Amino acid sequence: MLVITSNQVMGILLQQIRAYLNHKITKEQFYDIAETFYTDHAESIKDTEFDRIYFSLVPDACLYYIDEPGLSETENETRFKMLIENTYQQLSNL
Query: What's the pLDDT at 65?
Result: 67
Angle at 48 between CA 43 and CA 52, to 5 degrees: 95
List the one residue out of 70, 69, 7, 9 whose CA is nearest residue 38: 9
Please answer whether residues 80 and 27 qualify as being in contact, where contact means their C-beta atoms are separated by less than 8 angstroms. yes
Higher pLDDT, 30 or 71: 30
Domain boundaries, the chain: 6-92
Contact 34, 27 (CB under 8 A): no
Report the chain's mean pLDDT, rounded to a whole number: 89
The percent of residues in the chain predicted with pLDDT above 90, rounded, is 63
Question: pLDDT tens for residues 12-50?
Answer: 999 999 999 999 999 889 989 999 999 999 999 999 999
DSSP designation for 47: T
Pick the range with the lowest mean pLDDT from 5-9, 55-59, 60-64. 60-64
